[in-house]
Structure 1
Amino acid sequence: MLKVTEYSAEFVKDPFGILAGKRYEFLIDLDVPEDDELHSEHGVYARVIFRVEGEQSAIVKYDLLERTTNRLLDVDLEEEEEAELAAFCREHLPEA
Structure 2
Amino acid sequence: MDILAYTMEEILDPTNIIEGQRFEFLLDINVDEDDELYTEGGIEIRAIVAKKDDELALANYFITAKASGKLLDFALEDDEEEMILTFCKERIAAGE
So what's the TM-score if we normalise by structure 1? 0.93
Query: Matches of 1:32 and 1:74 in 2, distance apart?
Result: 16
Match of 1:33 in 2: 32
Query: Matches of 1:17 and 1:69 in 2, distance apart?
Result: 35
- CA deviations 1:49-86 (Å, max 9, x no partner) are 11011221101100111012111111111011101111
Give the letter aligned to residue 32 of structure 1. Answer: V
Correspondence list, 1:1-96, <5 A: 2-93=1-92, 95=95
Matched positions, count:
95
Q: Which has the higher helix share?
A: 2
Q: Which has the higher strand share?
A: 2
User: Unaligned 5+ residue runs, structure 1?
Assistant: none
Shift of 1:35: 0.6
Higher relative contact order (Cα pairs below 8 Å, separated by 6+ residues): 1
So what's the TM-score if we normalise by structure 2? 0.93
Tell me which stretches of 4 or more aligned residues in structure 1 moved more than 6 Å: none
Over the aligned positions, Cα root-mean-square deviation in angstroms equals 1.3
- Sequence identity (%): 35
Query: Matches of 1:95 and 1:23 in 2, distance apart?
Result: 14
Shift of 1:14: 0.3
